[in-house]
Structure formats: structure tokens, C-alpha cells
Amino acid sequence: MSGVNVRVPTILRTYTSGESEVTASGATLREVLTDLETNYPGISARILDDSGKIRRFVNVYVGDEDVRFASGVETATPAGSRVSVVPAVAGG
């Protein structure tokens, strides 16, 4: 299975040894996060709450689409797609 590129925000880079981008595999966002957890233990619990939902102050994008407008953690992650994890931003 081809890899998915995951962009890691600054506050999660302690899990990725400072790397801002890592690769993972999976056909859905949930599978990608599971694979990330295997290689970077602890990172998944920062993104998902205890019930497995995306934490309310985390935005996750597949390509340019906020997964909340797609299928949440079940959003498809085609080979070569880019996943971005971004803290919520206020003000404007």
C-alpha cells in the first residue's frame, strides 16, 4: 500500500522526533492514525478523545477538505494524499 503524507503540528513533534512530516499507510483516516500510533506511540491519543472521535480543538484535513465535512475518521485517504493536523485557530 502506498504511503500517505502526514503533516505534524509543532506540539505533536515530540512524538515524531521533531519531524514535521511523516508517512503512514491506511485506506481511511482511522487506519492512518492507527498506523501512526504503531510508529509513534502516544500520538493518536492527542488527536482522538477517549471515544475515538477527533478532539474538538483539532482540525484534520485530507487534502484541502476538513474531514468534518467528509466522513470524519472514516474519510478515505487515497494513496499519495496529504493529511494535515492543525490546532483550531481563533480570531480574525
Partner 1 sequence: MAITATESHTTVTRPFGPASALSCRECGERYEIGPRFACEQCFGPLEVAYDFSGVSIDAIKSGPPSIWRYASLLPVPADVASRPNMAPGFTPLVRADRLAAELGLRSLHVKDDSANPTHSFKDRVVAMAVEAARAFGFHTLSCSSTGNLAGAVGAAAARAGLRSCVFIPAGLEEGKVVMAAVYGGRVVAIDGSYDDVNRFCSELIGDPAGEDWGFVNVNLRPFYAEGSKTLAYEIVEQLGWRLPEQIIIPIASGSQLTKIDKGFRELIELGLVEDTPYTVFGAQATGCSPVAKAWEAGHDVVQPVKPDTIAKSLAIGNPADGPYVLDVARRSGGCVSHVSDEEIVDSISLLARTEGIFAETAGGVTTGVLRRLLAEGKLDPNKETVVLNTGDGLKTLNAATAGVSATIAPSLEAFRDAGLAH
Footprint of partner 1 on this chain (CB under 8 A)?
7-11, 14, 20, 46, 55-59, 61, 64, 66, 68-69, 84, 86-92
CB of 30 to partner 1, least distance (A): 18
Identify the CA nearest to 80 among candidates 24, 36, 37: 24
3-state secondary structure of 68: helix
Residue closer to partner 1 by CB (options 41, 87) is 87
Query: What grid cell was written down for 59?
Result: 482540525
Residue closer to partner 1 by CB (options 13, 27) is 13
Residue closer to partner 1 by CB (options 38, 66) is 66
| Amino acid (1-letter code) at residue 55 | R
CB of 67 to partner 1, least distance (A): 10
Q: How far apart are CA 81 and CA 70, in angstroms?
A: 15
3-state secondary structure of 87: strand
Residue closer to partner 1 by CB (options 27, 37) is 37
